[in-house]
Amino acid sequence: MSELRSVCVYCGSAVGRTQAHARSARALGAALAARDIRLVYGGGRIGMMGILADAVLAGGGRVTGVIPEHLESAERAHPDLDEMIVVDSMHTRKRRMFELSDGFVILPGGLGTLDEAFEMITWKQLGLHDKPIVLANIEAYWQPLLDLVRAAAAEGYVRAAHTHLFEMADTVDGILAALRAAPAPQVTPAPERL
Ligand code: AMP
């Protein structure tokens, strides 16, 4: 069982057309606040990111934003977080978010979300960490990604075991249950390798 003090959530800087996506961001934010689990996220006030952070704050929860200087205005840095870490680059942002978090949740999002998700998945594949990663498969949004990974495994590009580096959950309760059920991490990440 993992101890969950803080969870990193990656999600879109836009809001998708499917209303269940925004609802799931709100519900996840409320659930994190209710369980006193700190949210670590990209620090913006736009899109799914803003909806999520606002829901944690509305529930009296704690939020850490990690934003690169050059995106402070484009992603409208959230003014109400209890902690905002401004970093110099995208790479530093990803590393700080990783270091601050006990697990990762991928809500629906676009290319940036995919990049962040795959960085955590591939770092895990390389044994750089063993923290839990859960894809929030709201309205089956991530099914094509799972299909692609399975196709890559069938083709011999991905080891069968590596198709289990992440889990899928389609409800907020399922997401939290998957994070909690993960074995306690054994790997101590080496910052110089990230
Ligand atoms: P998107 O899913 O494209 O809306 O982006 C979601 C978040 O990912 C935003 O905060 C982006 O700044 C961030 N992002 C976009 N591209 C990258 C990248 N190459 N590496 C890390 N984060 C990124």
- Is the pTM higher than 0.95? The answer reads yes
Q: Could you tell me the distance, in angstroms and rounded to a whole number, from the CA of residue 22 to the centre of ligand 1?
A: 18
Q: Which of 89, 111, 122 to mutate to test the pocket of ligand 1 (most atoms within 8 A of CB)?
A: 111
d(C-alpha 120, C-alpha 187), whole Å: 14
pLDDT of residue 3: 81
Question: Which value, in Å, is the radius of gyration of the alpha carbons in the chain?
Answer: 16
> Tens-digit pLDDT profile for the chain (194 aa)?
668 999 999 999 999 999 999 999 999 999 999 999 999 999 999 999 999 999 999 999 999 999 999 999 999 999 999 999 999 999 999 999 999 999 999 999 999 999 999 999 999 999 999 999 999 999 999 999 999 999 999 999 999 999 999 999 999 999 999 999 999 999 999 988 88
Q: Which of 21, 49, 86, 116 to mutate to test the pocket of ligand 1 (most atoms within 8 A of CB)?
A: 116
Q: What is the reported pLDDT for 1?
A: 65
**Class for the domain spanning 10-176:** alpha beta
Backbone angles phi, psi at 65, to 5 degrees: -100, 145
Q: Whose CA is nearest to atom 13 of ligand 1?
A: 112
Hey, how many other C-beta atoms are within 10 angstroms of the C-beta on 165? 18
Q: Whose CA is nearest to atom 5 of ligand 1?
A: 112
Domain residue spans of the chain: 10-176
* Distance (Å) from CA 13 to ligand 1 centroid: 8
**Paired tokens of 28:** 């996840």
In this structure, are residues 104 and 136 in contact, taking their beta carbons and an 8 Å threshold? Answer: no
Nearest residue by C-alpha to atom 3 in ligand 1: 112
